[in-house]
Chain A
Amino acid sequence: MAIITWRFEYKEIWRAMSLSPTLLLSVIIFLPALGALILMIFDKKAVETMRGFALAVTAITFVLTLLLLGHFNPSDPGLQPVFEVTGDELKLVQNYEVQDDGSIALSDRVISAAAIQRGVKLEWIPGWNINYQLAYDGISVPLLLLTSFISVLAMLASWSINKLHKGYLILFLLLETGMLGVFLALDFFLFYVFWEVMLLPMYFLIGIWGGPRREYAAIKFFLYTLAGSVLMLIAILMFYFGSANEALGVAATFDLTELANIGQGNVAAITFSETTQIVAFILLFIGFAIKVPTFPFHTWLPDAHVEAPTPISMILAGVLLKMGGYGIIRIAFPLCPVGAAYAAHTLVAIGAISIIYGAFAALAQTDFKRLVAYSSVSHMGYVLLGIGVWKINESTGAAIGRDYWLMGMNGAMFQMLAHGVSSAGMFFMVGVIYDRVHHRDLNQFGGLAGIMPYYSGLAAGIFFAGLGLPGLCGFIGEVFVVLSAWNFSKLLAIIAAGGVILTAGYILWTLQRVYLGPEYKGPHKDELLSNPFNGREASVAVILLIFAVVLGVYPEIMFGLMRESMASLVESLDAGYQNAVDSAMTIKTTLK
């Protein structure tokens, strides 16, 4: 009887979830926070219970994002979920239909704004026109999946935390709420709030549970990110006040889609001037570039990684860095296409420099974790490179070889996902060994392949993914981005391609120093022998490696999700810049 009842309830919950993506979005974001609240009532000595509970929360969140994936319609480029207003009720609309030949097509691409509303929108602070507005599309869904996925694995890796467990778990879950919120928020103010929500837990997680220089690292991280936030805040206010037109009675807004429409010149009578766009783009870009991080804003990263505990390094590399890239794709580019076009060359150059500079710096490191951190700088350079390869015909404003730019954009997105998997894996692998021997000096390892063969095999696989070996995730992102770059700039493409040699150099040299050789040369050898690679650790590594292989062999699995959204983004940016050029031409001719 009990089972039947349970099943019944399960079905009910399922139906409720399925029918109401509105609820689902909020649940995804706030479930970890709720978990954190519940954790407060636990006895602080019940460590295993709390860990299990927190793991369950992250796992459920992951399942919920999978449910969201079930709702997601990749053939619709716009934001989702889609509702139609019928009376007072909101009803999910299937705006695609099955054609006679079995293919699925959009039945109506022109969506009337009055009748149909995309996403969740509730009033929050009406006086300032701030809304609780959430939505997802092909750009945010993959990153959302990555976030909840890496969170589960990082939680699995959190068994190595050995003090103040309760506080750690609470902060961890709050951090997850912040991250998920960033990827779902569609209101600029709300985005900013989530952005900041994520910052504080991170500060404490590094500052309390970190290594010997944790205070230094935490403050460095905090100062850098805060500086970025302040710049972003200025840009937010510029957009907000620029979006109002009192004469027409249009109120100022934080709605990212509306702001993007204004930025792309699709709204009559309201525009962001060229100067505004350029200034705002620079502000936003610096804010996001710090997060990515790119040369020369990257020096917080090695310190933060070196001092952060393993699971936090995984989150930091796996998810937090992606917010920078996401911000550039979701906000900086759509809101100021003119600014983006203006800065495209700089962006690509910074990307190429980051790739080479990060790789060279990695080559010189003797701290294992620092090396992996610099490899992140190098790998994230590809993201910037891919986003920026927007070549423009200056007379018409049209993109030259738009498909190559589209490829670069897609490649950049894929690189973020791939790096999320591979770098989280690399940090985890470093953490496993650090937990045992309590040092990270590359010159004091060696022979681990003989002592811990399974661990070493998995580590080699994950490091190969970082190296960009075909068949593993790192290859697709890197090579697609590089291939798309030639169309933009031959020199920068060649520089970026040079990264393949250096990457092979530092990764293989590291593998040689750590895993190969006859004997382990450092301290605590006994712990290596007495403390074998356990099942929990193995499962984290195996899952990451499987994903690295799946993404590497069948990248369409992710490209399929993001294709339409990316195509429509690129199309609208192209059109937006052409609008700007057209209006500039009109003004010139009128003046004549």
Chain B
Amino acid sequence: MEDLGKQLSTLLMVAWLLPFFGFCIEVFGGYFKWRLTKTAAYIAVGCIGVGFLCSVVAFMQWGNATDWVVFESHEGEHHVSADHDEAAKSHDEHGAKHDEHAKEHEHGEEHADEHGEKAEGAHDSHGGHAKPAVQTAFSGQIYHLARFGELDISIDYYIDSLTLGMFMMVTLIATCIHVFAIGYMSDELTESYEDHFVHTSDGGHFKRPGRFYRFFSYMSLFCFSMLGLVLAGNIFQVFVFWELVGICSFLLIGFYVERKSASTAANKAFIVNRVGDFGFIIGLMILWTSCGTFRFDNYEDHHGHEQPGLFQMVRGNDGHVTQDGDAVVLKDVHGEPLTDASGSTKTIPYMLLVAAGLGVFCGCVGKSAQFPLQTWLPDAMEGPTPVSALVHSATMVAAGVYLAGRFFPMFLPEVLLTIAYVGCVTLFVAATIAVVATDIKRVLAYSTISQLGYMMLGIGVGGWGAGLFHLITHAFFKSLMFLCSGSVIHGCHHEQEMPKMGGLWKKMPVTAFTMLVGVIAIAGLAIPGTSIAFSGYHSKDAIVATALQFVDDNPVHILLFIVPLVTAGITAFYMFRLWFYTFAGQPRDAHVYEGCHESPSVMCGPLLVLAPFAAWCAIGGEHGKLFSILALSEPASTEVVHASHDIHTAAGSFALVAAILGTLTAYLLYGKTIVDPANIKRQFSGLHTFLVEKWRFDELYDVMFVRPSHVVGKWCAGVDKYIFDEFLHGVVRTGIRVSQWDRKFDEGIIDGLVNLVGNVTFSIGRSLHVFQTGNIRQYVMFIAVGVLMLFALLFAFSFAILA
């Protein structure tokens, strides 16, 4: 098992680091004179493609070594979910069972979460005969960043089935998108690229050398950062790569640096993300100070002792949070209370742990464009379309959901409820805006935000597997749809407004067909009564079912079920609206239609590769292979909710009805056009404007934050200039004035006195010169008279005294 951990980490590290080496080479493309060749693209595709192979090999090895326990256990899983209450009741038993396991496996790196889960599955399914627990999660250290006393920060890896699944998903989608981009970005292969969106001061279009290689170098850097994020074995490392994907997103959104809108959108994306990261840092500070480690999994410290990771500290062996008054007791590797050097139990105040969870979730809100930080993602569509497909739909924005899933054991019920409501608000707000958006990419962007909201909701109501399930399925169908939209934009010569399209399916059948696959998948359509359904149905159904189960247990939160259900209808509506608007009906702009053409095979190929995944990756639903892979990593947390069978069926039917209703409405309005949508628009013009203006969040934030910070900035600069400097100048002026007075005093009084003495002496001397005749007799006479006078005076005094 140790070997397997090493092999897996080596393979995944190769997959992780290859794009970085690719980046290091590609970024010097200009130096290598690659401006007109596709070398950079081939390197990038090669790196990420090999990364995909490595991920698959790693998964196969992992599966073989674990005897494919992942696919065996799902039957048991189902029974557990069917009999949820019983499972909950028997939790304590599991705990006890687990302790026995722990004793047997003291030396292994056994991950406690897996243990708990295995025990649970084993207990329920096959009449109590316990399966041998297999280690399915591996963690270890890559290198040290720093050590301060007992505190220790390093770069680690943590590999479980979720990591492997994410790796395969990210590398597969990234490979497809890289290939697609070779075609999409090919007009950059020139010495003189004319940018139609930028005008120079002389009125012409801006011209610049093409930047084909630079695009691929940024993409490679992004893949490196994203894979690093997934591989991360501690929350600090997640933060590191979190920021790196952020900067890659900045570079890619602002790829057309000459466009003011692009660079502004890039800045906005990064700064809004930083707002989320501010919360993330606070979460990190709390955890770091209270727990003293960032690692997810248990680890060996530099003394060679095994120390508990964050999950073990909070959840112990059985997934329960142990409370002691207002504090949560931290646990050691055996699930016993953790003690510090002085022997007292280490605890963390309950509210502080809630705050830590909320803090980390703030980061997720920023990255996954959740309410209230959702405003950056639509603007991020300024980037080239492959970027939107990879970064802003499939991977980076999903990283927030991934982290919420990964960090699930640390979230207390209050935090999860917040997550659920944030997701709930987001999915509704974004869906309503998507209904009125006319830019094809913006519709998809809002749909992404909305779907991310679903995932968050899923995780928030305790549907850990459901949320991450939707993450994977959504990644496939949304990247597919973005690539299709890219194909449309490319075919229509950078026209993105849907009102100018229409009837394009004749011109670009492959794109239209694959897009339809994506649309059906996201809408969550299925044929009732059969198991024939596209991936979106399964995953959204899982979320809605968990939400219904949650609402069933906590009826106060009824909105958490109603809103996603209604939004499922809206989703189907706006997605079919997009498809009908673009591909069906009559051409609305002859110019665009005439110039339109199907994309070359280098672009259609990836669409055809992704389409089956988008349709069937979730085949089997919650009994399918994909869900089993994810569910194996389900954390041992008492907050996990499994929908019971009845509820599942009910929720599935509701969701399907909503989706079909939405689809029908879209068909009637945009396919058949029985009612002119323009009339509806007029009727609700107030609402329409409000939605078109994106609920006015941008204006609100501008007034609330952007302008005030500029004003405060001016104040600070003003304080420096008019207070500190004026004070200093005042001091100096006073000093100068004092010295001027000093000079006056010196010159007028002291010098005056001295001069006076000198002058008087001099004038006395001068006046005496009349006596200086040079005549000896005269001098003798002066002396004689003087002596006589002295004697006379002497006598006079003597007499006076005697008398």
Q: Which residues of A contact B (CB under 8 A)?
A: 220, 223, 296, 298-299, 302, 357, 360-365, 401-404, 406-407, 410, 447, 449-450, 453, 464, 469-471, 475-476, 479-480, 482-483, 485-487, 493-494, 497-498, 500-502, 504-505, 508-509, 512, 515-519, 554-556, 559, 563, 567
Contact A501 B148 (CB under 8 A): no
Chain B 251-266 residues near chain A, CB threshold 8 A: 254, 257-258, 260, 263-264, 266
Given contact pairs A407-B148, A497-B278, A497-B282, a sample of 20 additional A-B residue pairs in the complex whose CB atoms are under 8 Å apart: A360-B709, A363-B709, A403-B148, A447-B258, A464-B247, A469-B244, A471-B244, A476-B145, A479-B239, A479-B281, A483-B285, A500-B278, A501-B278, A504-B271, A512-B263, A518-B198, A519-B206, A555-B145, A556-B143, A556-B146
Please measure, in the bound complex, the distance between the C-alpha atom of A487 and the C-alpha atom of B270, giving whole angstroms.
29
Contact B281 A469 (CB under 8 A): no
Contact B258 A518 (CB under 8 A): yes
Contact B709 A505 (CB under 8 A): yes
Pick from A406, A485, A497: contact of B148, CB under 8 Å: A406
Contact A482 B281 (CB under 8 A): yes
Contacts of B247 in A (CB 8 A): 464, 469
Q: Give the shortest distance, in Å, between A574 (CB) and chain B (any CB).
A: 11
Please measure, in the bound complex, the distance between the C-alpha atom of A497 and the C-alpha atom of B277, giving whole angstroms.
9
Known: A500-B274, A501-B275, A508-B271. A361 touches B717 (CB 8 A): yes
The yes or no answer to B200 lying at the interface (CB within 8 A) is yes
Contact B282 A494 (CB under 8 A): yes
Please measure, in the bound complex, the distance between the C-alpha atom of A177 and the C-alpha atom of B277, giving whole angstroms.
43
Contacts of B284 in A (CB 8 A): 483
Contact B258 A364 (CB under 8 A): no
Contact A567 B145 (CB under 8 A): no
Q: List 16 A-B contacts (CB under 8 A).
A: A298-B720, A360-B716, A361-B717, A363-B713, A364-B714, A364-B717, A404-B148, A404-B151, A479-B239, A485-B285, A497-B285, A504-B271, A516-B257, A555-B146, A563-B147, A563-B148
Please measure, in the bound complex, the distance between the C-alpha atom of A334 and the C-alpha atom of B5, giving whole angstroms.
47
Known: A410-B146, A469-B243, A479-B281. A512 touches B264 (CB 8 A): yes
Contact A505 B151 (CB under 8 A): no
Contact A364 B732 (CB under 8 A): no
Contact string against A for B residues 229-258, beta-carbon threshold 8 Å, 1 for contact and 0 otherwise: 000000000011101100100100010011
Chain B 719-736 residues near chain A, CB threshold 8 A: 720, 724-725, 728, 732
Please measure, in the bound complex, the distance between the C-alpha atom of A567 and the C-alpha atom of B153, giving whole angstroms.
16
Pick from A365, A470, A555: contact of B243, CB under 8 Å: A470
Please measure, in the bound complex, the distance between the C-alpha atom of A403 and the C-alpha atom of B281, giving whole angstroms.
19
Of all chain A residues, which has the CB nearest B246? Answer: A469
* Chain B residues within 8 Å of chain A by Cβ, number: 60
Known: A360-B716, A504-B274. A486 touches B288 (CB 8 A): yes
Pick from A449, A493, A509: contact of B257, CB under 8 Å: A449
Known: A296-B724, A505-B709. A498 touches B278 (CB 8 A): yes
Known: A296-B724, A360-B709. A406 touches B149 (CB 8 A): yes
Q: Give the shortest distance, in Å, between B399 (CB) and chain A (any CB).
A: 14
Please measure, in the bound complex, the distance between the C-alpha atom of A47 and the C-alpha atom of B471, giving whole angstroms.
65
Contact string against A for B residues 475-502, beta-carbon threshold 8 Å, 1 for contact and 0 otherwise: 0000000000000000000000000000
Contacts of A556 in B (CB 8 A): 143-146
Of all chain A residues, which has the CB nearest B144? Answer: A556
Please measure, in the bound complex, the distance between the C-alpha atom of A468 and the C-alpha atom of B202, giving whole angstroms.
39
Contacts of B288 in A (CB 8 A): 483, 486
Contact A475 B710 (CB under 8 A): no
Chain B 277-299 residues near chain A, CB threshold 8 A: 277-278, 281-282, 284-286, 288-289, 292
The yes or no answer to B530 lying at the interface (CB within 8 A) is no
Contact A517 B146 (CB under 8 A): no
Contacts of A493 in B (CB 8 A): 282, 285
Contact B275 A519 (CB under 8 A): no
Contact B277 A508 (CB under 8 A): no
Q: Give the shortest distance, in Å, between B486 (CB) and chain A (any CB).
A: 24
Q: Binding site of B, secondary structure by majority: helix, strand, loop or mixed?
A: helix
Contact B725 A299 (CB under 8 A): yes
Contacts of B267 in A (CB 8 A): 508-509, 512
Contacts of A494 in B (CB 8 A): 282
Contact A360 B713 (CB under 8 A): yes
Contacts of B717 in A (CB 8 A): 360-361, 364-365
Contacts of A449 in B (CB 8 A): 257
Pick from A357, A470, A500, A517: contact of B241, CB under 8 Å: A470
Contacts of B206 in A (CB 8 A): 518-519
The yes or no answer to B201 lying at the interface (CB within 8 A) is yes
The yes or no answer to B30 lying at the interface (CB within 8 A) is yes
Contact A516 B244 (CB under 8 A): no
Of all chain A residues, which has the CB nearest B355? Answer: A490
Q: Give the shortest distance, in Å, between A502 (CB) and chain B (any CB).
A: 7
Contact A516 B254 (CB under 8 A): yes
Please measure, in the bound complex, the distance between the C-alpha atom of A407 and the C-alpha atom of B270, giving whole angstroms.
28
The yes or no answer to B712 lying at the interface (CB within 8 A) is yes
In the complex, the 3 A-B pairs of residues with the closest C-beta atoms, listed nearest first: A403-B149, A363-B713, A364-B713
Please measure, in the bound complex, the distance between the C-alpha atom of A573 and the C-alpha atom of B267, giving whole angstroms.
44
Contact A500 B151 (CB under 8 A): no
Pick from B147, B281, B710: contact of A559, CB under 8 Å: B147
The yes or no answer to B208 lying at the interface (CB within 8 A) is yes
Contacts of A302 in B (CB 8 A): 720
Please measure, in the bound complex, the distance between the C-alpha atom of A480 and the C-alpha atom of B289, giving whole angstroms.
12
Please measure, in the bound complex, the distance between the C-alpha atom of A517 and the C-alpha atom of B199, giving whole angstroms.
11
Please measure, in the bound complex, the distance between the C-alpha atom of A567 and the C-alpha atom of B724, giving whole angstroms.
38
Please measure, in the bound complex, the distance between the C-alpha atom of A483 and the C-alpha atom of B153, giving whole angstroms.
12
Of all chain B residues, which has the CB nearest A571? Answer: B149
Contacts of A509 in B (CB 8 A): 267
The yes or no answer to B2 lying at the interface (CB within 8 A) is no
Chain B 724-777 residues near chain A, CB threshold 8 A: 724-725, 728, 732
Please measure, in the bound complex, the distance between the C-alpha atom of A316 and the C-alpha atom of B333, giving whole angstroms.
51
Contact B147 A361 (CB under 8 A): no
Known: A486-B289, A516-B257. A402 touches B149 (CB 8 A): yes
Contact B244 A470 (CB under 8 A): yes
Of all chain A residues, which has the CB nearest B717? Answer: A364
Please measure, in the bound complex, the distance between the C-alpha atom of A554 and the C-alpha atom of B154, giving whole angstroms.
10
The yes or no answer to B104 lying at the interface (CB within 8 A) is no
Please measure, in the bound complex, the distance between the C-alpha atom of A117 and the C-alpha atom of B285, giving whole angstroms.
42
Chain B 32-55 residues near chain A, CB threshold 8 A: none
Chain B 135-167 residues near chain A, CB threshold 8 A: 143-151, 153
Of all chain B residues, which has the CB nearest A406? Answer: B148
Pick from A497, A512, A518: contact of B281, CB under 8 Å: A497
Contacts of A362 in B (CB 8 A): 713
Chain B 678-720 residues near chain A, CB threshold 8 A: 709-710, 712-717, 720
Contact B243 A475 (CB under 8 A): yes
Pick from A220, A365, A486: contact of B285, CB under 8 Å: A486
Please measure, in the bound complex, the distance between the C-alpha atom of A401 and the C-alpha atom of B281, giving whole angstroms.
19
Contacts of A479 in B (CB 8 A): 239, 281
Please measure, in the bound complex, the distance between the C-alpha atom of A497 and the C-alpha atom of B280, giving whole angstroms.
10
Q: Give the shortest distance, in Å, between A452 (CB) and chain B (any CB).
A: 12
Contacts of B266 in A (CB 8 A): 508
Please measure, in the bound complex, the distance between the C-alpha atom of A223 and the C-alpha atom of B277, giving whole angstroms.
41
Pick from B150, B274, B286: contact of A501, CB under 8 Å: B274
Please measure, in the bound complex, the distance between the C-alpha atom of A362 and the C-alpha atom of B720, giving whole angstroms.
11
Please measure, in the bound complex, the distance between the C-alpha atom of A484 and the C-alpha atom of B30, giving whole angstroms.
43
Q: Give the shortest distance, in Å, between A165 (CB) and chain B (any CB).
A: 32
Contacts of B151 in A (CB 8 A): 403-404, 406-407
B240, B270, B715, B720: most-surrounded residue (chain A CB, <10 A): B720
Contacts of B241 in A (CB 8 A): 470
Q: Give the shortest distance, in Å, between A216 (CB) and chain B (any CB).
A: 10
Of all chain A residues, which has the CB nearest B285? Answer: A486
Contacts of B200 in A (CB 8 A): 518-519
Known: A363-B710, A519-B200. A501 touches B271 (CB 8 A): yes
Please measure, in the bound complex, the distance between the C-alpha atom of A577 and the C-alpha atom of B199, giving whole angstroms.
67
Contact B289 A403 (CB under 8 A): no
Contact A299 B728 (CB under 8 A): yes
Q: Give the shortest distance, in Å, between A537 (CB) and chain B (any CB).
A: 17
Of all chain B residues, which has the CB nearest A409? Answer: B148
